[in-house]
């Protein structure tokens, strides 16, 4: 197959215009990311870099640009997303991680800075595993239990854990926290061993607001990871009553919330023996993470 030397900008300039017309906010970056993916490069290509490309690769690139112009996020096209310090593989049942969720990691590390401390961590509704696995990278002696209702999510977590040699400090549980007794089943599976840290990024968008989300979110993220019920608080109301049963003495809970939900979530915590101890804001100065401990 004949390979031709081309300037990157020469390859992507027409596709940049196409993405601009479709309303894409980052047309040049998206083109370069997708081109790098087609060329199987581990890093993005630069606008005036010289590349070697075949006609088939060029055709494939143009096909991916069509997908992007129809609203499909780059991360969904390449099934990969950068988070914290790593690249994590995704599939159709995992939430596409957002930068705001990195605040959960930084919040936890403010309270647990000793990387050699042996901590038992529970990642509830783990999705791609990006939260728990990022913590394992930082807390070298800790272990994470990944819990998710989706078998496909747990499969992708295992792939991500293996990719970074974190599988020996990981365990996996397919459980539905809406089912009675899920917490007892989890503890029995761990011979009664409880947790020092519980973290969660639950679905917190009110049902009637789903249709107003960006197309990239509402059409390509799994609904189960977005829909927080009529008031957006269903997951907190369901999970919080079970947390004390799962927690060691002096354990802390780190939980992501939606904009303006802090007072309501703190109240739900108070009603379930949780004391609010702090919060962290995201890059837009919105309260994004609440920290609790037990009475």
* Position 295 confidence tier, pLDDT thresholds 50, 70, 90: confident
| 18, 64, 78 from 59: Cα distances, Å | 15, 9, 16
pLDDT in tens, 59-101: 999 999 999 999 999 999 999 999 999 999 999 999 999 999 9
- In this structure, what DSSP letter does residue 256 have? E
CA distance 114 to 97: 26
What's the pLDDT at 42? 85
Q: State the average pLDDT for the chain.
A: 95
CA distance 274 to 270: 5
Mean pLDDT, residues 142-151 taken together = 97
Looking at the predicted structure, is the pLDDT value of residue 19 above 90? yes
Residues 6+ apart with CB under 8 A from 260: none
What's the pLDDT at 112? 96
Looking at the predicted structure, is the pLDDT value of residue 1 above 90? no
What's the pLDDT at 126? 96
What's the pLDDT at 43? 86
């Amino acid at each position: 197959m004949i390979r031709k030397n081309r300037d990157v900008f020469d390859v992507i300039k027409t596709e940049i215009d196409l993405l601009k017309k479709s309303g894409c906010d980052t047309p040049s970056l998206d083109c370069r990311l997708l081109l790098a993916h087609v060329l199987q490069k581990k890093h993005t290509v630069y606008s005036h870099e010289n590349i070697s490309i075949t006609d088939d690769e060029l055709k494939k690139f143009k096909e991916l640009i069509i997908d992007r112009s129809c609203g499909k996020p780059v991360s969904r096209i390449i099934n990969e997303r950068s988070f914290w310090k790593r690249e994590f593989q995704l599939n159709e049942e995992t939430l596409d991680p957002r930068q705001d969720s990195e605040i959960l990691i930084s919040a936890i590390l403010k309270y647990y800075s000793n990387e050699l401390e042996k901590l038992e961590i529970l990642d509830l509704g783990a999705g791609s595993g990006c939260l728990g696995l990022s913590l394992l990278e930082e807390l070298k002696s800790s272990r994470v239990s990944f819990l998710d209702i989706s078998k496909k999510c747990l499969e992708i977590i295992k792939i991500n854990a293996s990719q970074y040699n974190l599988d020996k400090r990981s365990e996996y549980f397919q459980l539905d926290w809406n089912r009675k007794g899920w917490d007892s089943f989890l503890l029995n599976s761990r011979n009664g061993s409880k947790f020092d840290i519980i973290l969660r990024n639950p679905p917190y968008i009110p049902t009637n607001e789903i249709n107003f989300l960006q197309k990239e979110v509402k059409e390509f993220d799994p609904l189960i990871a977005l829909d927080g019920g009529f008031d957006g608080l269903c997951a907190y109301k369901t999970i919080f009553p079970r947390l004390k049963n799962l927690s060691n003495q002096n354990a802390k809970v780190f939980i992501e919330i939606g904009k303006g939900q802090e007072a309501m979530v703190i109240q739900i915590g108070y009603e379930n023996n949780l004391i609010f101890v702090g919060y962290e804001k995201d890059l837009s100065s919105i309260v994004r993470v609440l920290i609790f401990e037990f009475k």
